[in-house]
């Protein structure tokens, strides 16, 4: 009796050790590579998650550098524009800014709208829209355009963050389904026959979560940064409207054009 108990314990320990060796990522990958036909769904899920992860990392890095450059140059561009006493020099300074600098593009759109309205005095354009309305429309369009550019990649991050866990869960469900079919076909329900395949299947859910978490954190982080930038856009646009529509500069600086 003691010998049978010892043998059973030894067998159980062996089964548990075998199950542990079958629950690792390396074992899952070796099984998928050795018999790819049996793991077609798992391959599709894994490749999808890897593509999602690469896309989210790409847009996180791109948006991080974009926001760093914007925050570093925004105050300089705005302050230089208002500190330049000659309007033509201020506009020329805005034209010299990089192509992706948003504040300079907003100012240039306002300046072009004001100049266009002034050139067409006496025409139907001036009769239908006064200078203030024409500049305001140009500023609204410019702020909307630059805001949309600032949101590039956020849709990808939101999509990855919301769908990656379910993609991983699909791989897990399919893996457990296949494991149950194999268990039913062989008639084996020992710990190594159950825990190994189920543990392998759960790896897909873990990969899905590892893919989704950075995307969600990045999305929330950039949404918060963009909200601050939108406020700066609106403030700058209102000041530009006052300047190009009425000739009054920010604060008490005299208008010089």
pLDDT, tens digit, for every residue of 232-249? 999 999 988 888 877 666
pLDDT at res. 188: 64
Cβ atoms within 10 Å of 195's Cβ, excluding its own: 18
The pLDDT of residue 157: 96
Return the domain boundaries, the chain: 2-101+144-246
The top-scoring range by mean pLDDT among 12-21, 35-44, 222-231 is 222-231
Q: What is the pLDDT of residues 111-121, one digit of tens each?
A: 888 887 777 66
Inter-CA distances, 139 with 14, 110, 225, Å: 73, 6, 21
Q: Say if residues 43 and 56 touch (Cβ distance below 8 Å).
A: no
Average pLDDT over residues 211-217: 96
Mean pLDDT of 36-63: 88
Residue 22 has what pLDDT?
54
Distance CA 106, CA 94 (A): 9
- Predicted TM-score (pTM) above 0.85: no
Percentage of residues in the chain with pLDDT exceeding 70? 72
**pLDDT higher at 248 or 16:** 248
**For the chain, what's the residue count?**
257
Which has the closest alpha carbon to 190: 39, 13, 25, 4? 13
3-state secondary structure of 67: helix
pLDDT tens figures, 121-155: 656 655 566 778 888 888 999 999 999 998 989 99
């Amino acid at each position: 009796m003691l010998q049978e108990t010892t043998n059973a314990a030894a067998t159980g320990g062996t089964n548990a050790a075998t199950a542990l060796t079958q629950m690792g990522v390396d074992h899952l990958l070796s099984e998928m590579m050795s018999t790819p036909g049996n793991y077609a769904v798992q391959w599709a899920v894994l490749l999808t998650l890897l593509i999602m992860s690469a896309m989210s990392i790409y847009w996180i890095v791109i948006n991080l550098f974009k926001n760093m450059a914007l925050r570093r140059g925004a105050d300089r561009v705005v302050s230089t524009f208002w500190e330049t006493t000659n309007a033509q020099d201020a506009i020329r300074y805005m034209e010299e800014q990089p192509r992706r600098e948003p504040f300079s593009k907003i100012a240039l759109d306002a300046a072009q709208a004001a100049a266009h309205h002034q050139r067409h005095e006496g025409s139907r354009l001036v009769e239908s829209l006064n200078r203030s309305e024409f500049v305001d429309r140009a500023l609204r369009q410019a702020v909307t355009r630059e805001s949309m550019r600032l949101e590039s990649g956020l849709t990808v991050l939101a999509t990855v963050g919301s769908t990656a866990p379910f993609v991983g869960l699909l791989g897990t469900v399919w893996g457990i389904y296949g494991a149950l079919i194999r268990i039913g076909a062989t008639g084996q329900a020992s710990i190594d026959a159950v825990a190994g395949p189920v543990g392998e299947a759960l790896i897909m859910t873990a990969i899905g979560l590892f893919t989704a978490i950075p995307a969600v954190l990045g999305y929330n982080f950039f949404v918060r940064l963009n909200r601050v930038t939108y406020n700066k856009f609106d403030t700058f646009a209102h000041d530009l409207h006052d300047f190009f529509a009425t000739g009054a500069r920010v604060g008490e600086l005299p208008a010089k054009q």
